[in-house]
Structure 1
């Protein structure tokens, strides 16, 4: 097309985009064309975090966070029928020798063991190799009907991974992970990585934190709450009477869990 016909076509395309954005309530958030439909968990939601085995759907909470590989589309659908939102746990920072896609990861990506059986840190600098692997995993979460993802181990730069990872490497990788989730219409949570909250707050829709009370770090999560984004928080050894008053004042979604993350929970 040339001349006026091309201008007219471009104008029509822009009008259609504007109409579609208005109909979907577009929010102008970074991360791809599907961000308008993203679930946005708000502060104070009740939740269950069960990563050990197939989900037990009997806990009366608003949100379930469960293993993406070990649970099926029917498990997710069952939780949806009960009115729950469902988060897909996926490890994005370490290779796991017990996952069905374990042979897809080249040896060059693998670093030191990270302390969990069968896991080794990944070289997150190799984003061109890791991106399609993570896209495939997030495709699985989307196809099973999950509402969001919890990408784990996104702070390798602060650990002995076997690679000279920097904070800048981690920021680039974490932003990529958020982008992959948003492109699939999935909300995404920032797992721990407290030092980089200021740089990543705009890219993530909620936070998942372990033991901020034990290490006197819970106030570092306030930017999420102030932005209207939920903070899903657990402690393993702190008694509820010690941390729950602060957790409630900060509007965190807090509970005590066993480290094996089975069905047991004691919420604030």
Structure 2
């Protein structure tokens, strides 16, 4: 029997084009004009704003390595020698094994617990990170397998009354929307990688983009003047530190 298809978030909405802030490195009171805030699932929602909750759906969180090895070891993707595979850019994150329906079902249950916490904490939406983990799997995972897990997470989010966002993976085109049921997109550096058009074709104005100070395609003024950028574009420091910390940078285009 085939798995049920994606659901449409008919009961949820997304405030396209609104000023937003991306606060994964630490929560703080956003600038007054900000209407949309992205925070980690362990943080509290920002009162009076549309809040998006970060969930790492396809890799482990840095602080949970021992938990995954001890209690969920068979869900961690293994390399040729049986060692856990990690994200080369984030070596404290294990890549999770989406290769079978049974494993995807269990992974959906664990991620579903985080989604439920987001809903209980007052968030209006979730963004699911590392949808592109198959590209780091050495051929052990497939895009289809990851989209199948994403569809399960979309059903969970929609059942909880939450919108759900595709994080990066512009190469999917509109498959994330059509096959998984994503409602909007969260892009990192779509101007740098010339991907903004792909998100726009799939999601229209329901795209938020974060560009980073250490890899800007021009000055901040030039970035904000780009006609091809999403309406909701900000520039932030790479570590996304809180406003009171050294290195904090925030600019809304």
* CA distance in structure 2 between the partners assigned to 1:223 and 1:84 by the alignment: 27
Q: Could you tell me the TM-score, scaled by structure 1's length?
A: 0.76
Is contact 1:157-1:167 (8 Å) kept? yes
Residue 49 (structure 1) shift: 0.3
1:48 aligned partner: 21
Shift of 1:120: 0.9
Counterpart residue number, 1:120: 94
Instruction: Tell me the equivalent position of 2:153.
Output: 177
Matched, 1:243 2:223: yes
1:253 aligned residue:
232
- For residues 88 and 152 of structure 1, what CA distance do their matches in structure 2 show? 11
SS class of match (1:52): coil
Unaligned runs of 5+ in 1: 1-28
Q: After TM superposition, give the deviation of residue 249 of structure 1 in Å.
A: 4.9
8 Å CA contact 1:93–1:153 kept in 2: the answer is: yes
| Counterpart for residue 167 of structure 1 | 143
Residues paired across the two proteins, number: 224
Aligned residue in 1 for 2:80 = none
1:107–1:221 Cα change, 3 Å: same
Q: Which of residues 110, 119, 130 is equivalent to 2:76?
A: 110
TM-score normalized with structure 2 length: 0.80
**Structure 1: how far apart are the matches of 2:134 and 2:91?**
20
Superposition pairs of residues 38-187 of structure 1, within 5 angstroms:
38-42=12-16, 44-53=17-26, 55-60=27-32, 61-69=34-42, 71-72=43-44, 76=45, 79-80=46-47, 83-99=48-64, 102-103=67-68, 106-111=72-77, 112-114=85-87, 115-125=89-99, 126-159=103-136, 161=137, 164-187=140-163
Q: Residues 30, 165 of structure 1: CA spacing in aligned structure 2 closer, same or farther, 3 A cutoff?
A: closer
The equivalent residue for 2:81 is: none
Contact 1:224 1:230 in 2 (8 A): no
- Whether contact under 8 Å (1:225, 1:251) holds in the other structure is no
Larger Rg: 1
Q: CA deviation at 1:36?
A: 3.8
Q: In proportion to residue count, which structure has more helix? A: 1
Change (3 A) 1:219 1:235: same
Q: CA-atom RMSD, angstroms?
A: 2.4
Question: Residues 211 and 58 (structure 1 numbering): CA distance in 2 closer, same or farther, change over 3 Å?
Answer: closer
Shift of 1:97: 4.1
- Quote the Cα distance in structure 1 between the aligned partners of 2:229 and 2:202: 10
Number of the residue aligned with 2:194: 216
